[in-house]
Structure formats: structure tokens, C-alpha cells
Amino acid sequence: MAARNAQIRDWIITGKHVILTDYEHATSDPSASNSGDFDEIDTESDSGDGSSSIISSTASTTSAPMMEKLLASDDDALIPKQAEVDLVFRKGKYLWSQLVTSARSLPAASLSTGLNDPSIILKDVPALPEALPRRGMLVGRPFWHVPGISTDRDDDDQNEDFDLQHLHGARKHFCLSYLTPVECRVSPQVALGNDNASTAPGDGPYPPGLLLLTLCWSYIFSVRFWELQGKQVMYTSHALQPRPNRNIRNRRGRISIHLGASASQGLVRWLCALLAPKPGWSVQGGGHAPWTAFCSGGVEFTIISDEATTFTPNGQAPSSAEAAELLVELGCLYGFDSAQRGDGNHDPLSPIVAGFVAVLALPFYRAMELQPQFLAPTLQLNPTEMRPDLIRQYVADLRYYMTLSMHPMSVGSIIWSIFWQPDVECNVVSPWLSSTLSVLRPLIDSGNLDILVKAFALRRPRVAIWWLGIFLLGSPAISGLILRYLETSEECWGYATMASPDTTVASWTGSPQSFLDEGTSRAYVDLNESVSKADLLRCRYNLRLQDTSSALLAWQPFGVAPKTMIEPGLWPWLEHRSKRTYEHWVWYIKKGEAVARQDVQQGFRKDTGRFVEAVTDCLDVIHLDGMAERSTNANLEPSREATLRMINYCMEDMDGDRDTEVLIIPGARTHPWLKGWRGLEG
């Protein structure tokens, strides 16, 4: 293991793939280590800025010249038939080609209808507690209802103690403070930009004033979070001093922000703090919220005001509600219309919404050690009336948005589900991802990420909002992460994947991520029946909801198992067709080392009565006629990894004990896909 880690470090540092061992061993060992669960607490600790390490890693691995290819077989229990491989490849290519064609038909600055409303992601997301601890970790877990079996007891108290239908799920840990803020910079190299230099601001895919609006929302998110902790926010001595509108010489590297005569002194002070090269605002007691950000490099900002403005360092900074009103004033000053509407098929991307969704992705960038990059803002005064109610509503709902946003593993499970397809079985994941890559790689290589995010929006709107925020934050490394995922089903070397599905997050957002989010297909009453392995694993999972020993499986399991080979304790659940349902979320508020109280949150939909149901995913089964296109270049590892994970789960019964006999796979111990895999040892 140490030798392998040293080799990976050498690849990252040098950018060269020098294989120091035999290829067979090098490809089998990582699959075992990557099947484990990711440690959420480590993910959420502060690691500073290390975007260069991610960029070098992805740049050196996206081509993957040494990857073993999937070779089909028409007579094997695990390896798919050539006809199956070809059909899945053709379905994937057809789907993504259709999505890209539709995306190209949308105007440059528009997305599909509905993406100007971020609340579509909130369905049953719980709010943060109204009173948060000031430090450490916040812990919570879901409460599920699993119907389908009665305890057959008359005593109500006994039934309450022996309730097999209401179960707690796995805990999540949320980091409440970081050592450093997120450091942004101005750069001409951004993931999502205006390729045409003659494109007028607002006419291309890049929203005007995105950097400024992102910093505004970063402040509002952070201050609202600190208000929940009972903390005060102050301006610092790093804040800029406003300049009068005279004797300002333009020079390279300086950006002047003209506020005119109508800007309030409060707005001038606020922008002087937001655009400072070091944090111009901070919280008493130190530490930083997950969304705290500043712009450190690339340019120097100058705030120009027609009216003299006094600025006292260390003075009281605005509250989140006051900052929201300042954002409304800023939007009116520059014409940032948050209420734009399209023709019914698409919506213009509101700059206000763009800044909001970019801030949602900041904690994910922090966890991935990516640095946000923005184009230099080009702003012109354009006084316009603007509806303040939308901004106020976003601020009122922040406790829901923050729950999802501040948990990077949850965001990771959402974004990579953009490529998940319900009917794709584990052993044909490779041709599915390969066909997707064949369509999307030309877009990525040519830098047309605006078309890519539109295709994502047409496929899964609730998921695409997160991708939009990630693209708007601008790191060029994002393209490499996508390419590597489509080649290997993991997004980067040397890191545990964030692509594992999360059944809690799927219920929160209303966007399924795996076969586990579906109910069993039917009831298995007859003792001599064969049980679908998908239904078998669903039933077992429902009785082990707190188990975090290994990452979950997203793709559809294949094959069947005789009911007589399945543990009898599971039969009552197999004999009743059922679907697990999410009930609510419980926060555990600690005081010292002990839990002082529990805070039950019902979720956004129940709390507010608001949720946009009419958001459609493009996940239907694809039916194609005619000869399938031959798939000849799919990498083996995605299919092999998904299949091994399926086998691993099949060997674990409802109590977590392992039994290799339930596999019923002839020659499993000598199968080429299982060679070197240690899962059969126990």
C-alpha cells in the first residue's frame, strides 16, 4: 500500500505515468481500497488552498492510456454479452446527443425553464437549528419508515419498544468553523466564460458582475450562519477606503467600481469591505463560516463614490437582513434583474441567482481544494427598478440551503448522479459512461461548458443547479474531474470519491441517486421463487440504515438468488412489497461532550408549504430499434468496480455477517474480474 501511495504521489508531482509494477496488480489493488466509505469528518476539516494539486492530478490522468478495456463475453455469469454492451452504448450516445442538440438551441444567456428558482432543490431538506453551537461539529440523522411487517403484539408499549417500521439512518457530521476563508482570484481562465470578446455583458453565458454578487451572497450566508451562533460581525482594517470621483488614473490591474451619487453610505462601506484584498469583515472570536470568501489576487479594486463617505474600521457590519437590502440597492444600481423571465421554454440566467448558486458551491470547492476564479467585472450604472421580495425570500430560506451546501459529501452525491441511469446494470456501467464521454468530450475539450451545463439542466434540473454553481466558480480543473469520472467512475486520483450515492440526500432533494431509492419490484411469497438481487439488496439495506461500513451502490444489480439461499429473517420483508419513506431529520445539539437537546426538523416542504413538483428528470428507459452501434473502447474499471461492490453487498446478510455461498456464481474464485480482490476471503 505504501509503495502504491508513493507511486501516486510521484504521478501527481511529475505529471508522468511511469508504471513501476506489473499492470495487473496496479489495477486490482485500488478497487479494493476505493470501495470503502469516505470519512466525512476528514473531508470537512480545513485544508487551505491547494487547487494546484487537484489540477495537476486531473491533468495527468484524464487520458488514462494504460486502462484495461472491457471485453464482452457471451457465456459468463458476470461479464456482459456483446449485444448488451452495444445496446447500452447506443442508448447512452442517443440520450446525450439529444440533450446536447437541445442545449445548443437555447440562447447563450439562458437555461431551461425553472433554473432561476433555486428552491427546486429543497423538497424535504431540513433547516439548520435556530441556535447553533459556536464550535466543533453539528451531528444529525434521518428517521425512516419501513413498512411491510407487523410485530403481532397487542401491548402498545411493547410495540413502541419493538418498532421495526420506524428506524434511524446514518449520521452526518457538519463542520461549524474553518481556520481560513475561501480565497478567490480574478483570471481570464475560467470554466464558464464568454468566448467571444465582442459579446456584450449579459448577452453571453457569463453573468455580469458575478464576482461582486458572489462576494455579496458569501457575506449574507456567513453572517446569517453566525447569527445562528449568536456571534457579531465587524468591519476590519483591511477594508478599502472609498475614493472621490476625481484624479483616478486607470492602470493595468486596477478595476474601478463607480457607484455614482445615489449609492447609500452603507452600500459604499459594504462594498469596500467585500472587495478588499484581505478579509474586510470578520466575526468576533475568530474562525470562518463555510461560505466566507474574499478576492485576493489578479486585480486591485477601487471604490469610487460621488459623495464623501466616512469609514470606521472595526465598526459594526450589517446583519444578514440589512445586507439583503444593500444587495437590492446594488441590483437596482446596476440593473441586476432577479425577476427575468423567458418565453416559457427557457429563462435568462439572473445575475442575482447566479451569485447565489455560486455561493452554494463554495464549501464543495473548499473540500476539493479548488480555487474560485472569476472574470474581471465590467459594470456600468443602469438604474432599474427591481423586485426585492425574491432576495428577501432567499434570505428567509437560508437555513435550508445551508444544510445541503455546507456538507460537501452530500453535494458530491448530488452532482455525480447526473450520469446515473436507473436501468443500467452494474456490469454495463462501462459502455454507459463511455458513450456519455464520446458525446461530451468534444464539448469539454473545446471549452463549451455553457452547452454542457444546459444539457445537464435538460437531463436533471435539480442536479444541474449545483453544476451551474460549480461551473460559475470557474476552476478549470472541473473539466478534468468530469473526464476522469466518465473514464473510471471516480473523479480524481489519491482521494476517496465523493460520487457515492446518498439515500438521505436523494429524499431531501427529490432526485434519486441509486436503485436503493426505489421500492421493491414485487412481493416474493412462494418459497421456491428466485429473488431479484436488486430487491434483495433493497430489503437488506432497509434493515441496516445506520451502517456506514462501505459506500453505497448506485447502479442496478443484475441476476437473481433462490429464496431458500436467503436468510429466513429477511423473508417477511421480501413477502411484502414496500418502499422506504423519509419521515424527518433530528439534530443532536451538544453541550460539551453530552447531547443537551434534540431538534426535530420536518423539512422545507412541510415547514413552508412550498415546493415545485413540476420538475422533470430525463431518466426514462430508452427504447431503440435496429442494429446497435458497436462499443469497442469502454474501460473495464467502471463495470468491474460496480460489479465487485454488488457482489460485496450480496455476501452480507441482514445482520452484516458474510456468506460466500449466496453468490451462486460458478468459478467465482477464479473469475478474471475477481482476481486479486480480497472480498471472498471472509
Among 47-56, 224-233, 375-384, 507-516, name the one with the lowest average pLDDT: 47-56
DSSP string, 81-101: PHHHHHHHHHHHHHHHHHHHH
CA angle 580, 432, 634 (to 5 degrees): 140
Give 57's pLDDT tier (boundaries 50, 70, 90). Answer: very low
Q: Do 301 and 434 belong to one domain?
A: no
Are the C-beta atoms of residues 272 and 280 closer than 8 Å to each other?
yes
Q: Do 438 and 399 belong to one domain?
A: no
Q: Do 448 and 384 belong to one domain?
A: no
The pLDDT tens digits of the residues spanning 537-562 come to 999 999 999 988 777 899 999 999 99
What nine digits make up the cell of 597? 437537546
Candidates 273, 284, 184, 170; CA nearest to 233 is: 284
Q: Does residue 29 carry a pLDDT above 90? A: no
- From first CA to last CA, the distance across the chain in angstroms is 20
Share of the chain above pLDDT 70, in %: 82
Strand order in the sheet with 293-297: 293-297, 182-186, 373-374
Q: Do 218 and 243 belong to one domain?
A: yes
Q: Does residue 2 carry a pLDDT above 60? A: no
Could you tell me if residue 642 is inside a domain? Answer: yes
Strands 594-601 and 581-591: antiparallel
Q: Is 270 exposed, middle or buried (0-12, 13-18, 19+ CB in 10 A)?
A: buried
- 45, 149, 253, 561, 578 from 517: Cα distances, Å: 30, 20, 51, 21, 12
Q: What is the mean pLDDT of residues 466-478?
A: 96
The pLDDT tens digits of the residues spanning 302-352 come to 999 887 777 777 899 999 999 999 999 999 999 987 445 555 567 788 999
Q: Which has more pLDDT, 440 or 158?
A: 440
Candidates 581, 650, 496, 527; CA nearest to 43 is: 496
Q: Do 318 and 343 belong to one domain?
A: yes
Could you tell me if residue 172 is inside a domain? Answer: no
Could you tell me if residue 173 is inside a domain? Answer: no
Q: Given 370, 404, 438, which residue is the final one in a domain?
A: 404
Q: Do 263 and 325 belong to one domain?
A: yes
The pLDDT tens digits of the residues spanning 366-404 come to 999 999 999 998 888 999 888 899 999 999 999 999 999
DSSP string, 197-230: TTPPTTTSSSPTTHHHHHHHHHHHHHHHHHHHTT
- What is the amino acid identity at position 504? T
Q: What integer pLDDT is reported at residue 261 of this predicted model?
A: 86
Q: Given 404, 435, 468, which residue is the final one in a domain?
A: 404
Q: What integer pLDDT is reported at residue 150 of this predicted model?
A: 60
Q: Does residue 60 carry a pLDDT above 60? A: no
What nine digits make up the cell of 370? 479548488
Could you tell me if residue 567 is inside a domain? Answer: no
Candidates 183, 126, 109, 123; CA nearest to 354 is: 109
Q: Do 307 and 364 belong to one domain?
A: yes
Give 66's pLDDT tier (boundaries 50, 70, 90). Answer: low
Could you tell me if residue 439 is inside a domain? Answer: yes
Q: Do 292 and 358 belong to one domain?
A: yes
What nine digits make up the cell of 307? 459623495
Q: Do 108 and 62 belong to one domain?
A: yes
Q: Do 230 and 311 belong to one domain?
A: yes
Could you tell me if residue 286 is inside a domain? Answer: yes
Among 2-16, 138-152, 260-274, name the one with the lowest average pLDDT: 2-16
Strand partners, 168: 143
Q: Do 98 and 208 belong to one domain?
A: no
CA 519 to chain centre: 24
Strands 346-348 and 293-297: unpaired
Q: What is the DSSP letter of 318?
A: P
Q: What integer pLDDT is reported at residue 297 of this predicted model?
A: 78
Q: What is the mean pLDDT of residues 460-464?
A: 96
Candidates 374, 44, 413, 415; CA nearest to 218 is: 374
489519491: which residue's cell? 494
Q: What integer pLDDT is reported at residue 30 of this predicted model?
A: 33
Q: What integer pLDDT is reported at residue 624 of this predicted model?
A: 76
Q: What integer pLDDT is reported at residue 340 of this predicted model?
A: 54
Q: What is the mean pLDDT of residues 245-249?
A: 68
Give 21's pLDDT tier (boundaries 50, 70, 90). Answer: very low
What nine digits make up the cell of 652? 452480507
Alpha helix (H) residue ranges in 369-490:
389-396, 398-405, 408-415, 429-445, 449-459, 461-472, 477-488
The pLDDT tens digits of the residues spanning 487-498 come to 999 997 766 789
Q: What is the mean pLDDT of residues 154-179?
A: 78
Q: Do 279 and 370 belong to one domain?
A: yes
| CA-atom Rg of the chain in angstroms | 26
Interatomic CA distance for residues 173 and 288, integer angstroms:
17
Q: What integer pLDDT is reported at residue 279 of this predicted model?
A: 96
Which range of residues forms the domain containing residue 99? 39-116+407-491+620-680
509494477: which residue's cell? 21
Interatomic CA distance for residues 1 and 641, integer angstroms:
19
CA angle 18, 19, 23 (to 5 degrees): 155
The pLDDT tens digits of the residues spanning 609-657 come to 999 988 889 988 777 766 667 777 899 999 999 999 999 999 888 888 8
Q: Given 343, 371, 404, which residue is the final one in a domain?
A: 404
SS percent in the chain: helix, strand, coil, step 5: 40, 15, 45
The pLDDT tens digits of the residues spanning 558-613 come to 999 999 999 999 999 999 888 899 999 999 998 877 888 999 999 999 999 999 98
How many other C-beta atoms lie within 10 A of the C-beta of residue 197?
6
pTM value is 0.88
List Cβ neighbours of 527 (8 Å cut-off, separation of 6 or more).
Answer: 563, 564
Domain count, the chain: 2
Strand partners, 301: 255
Could you tell me if residue 327 is inside a domain? Answer: yes
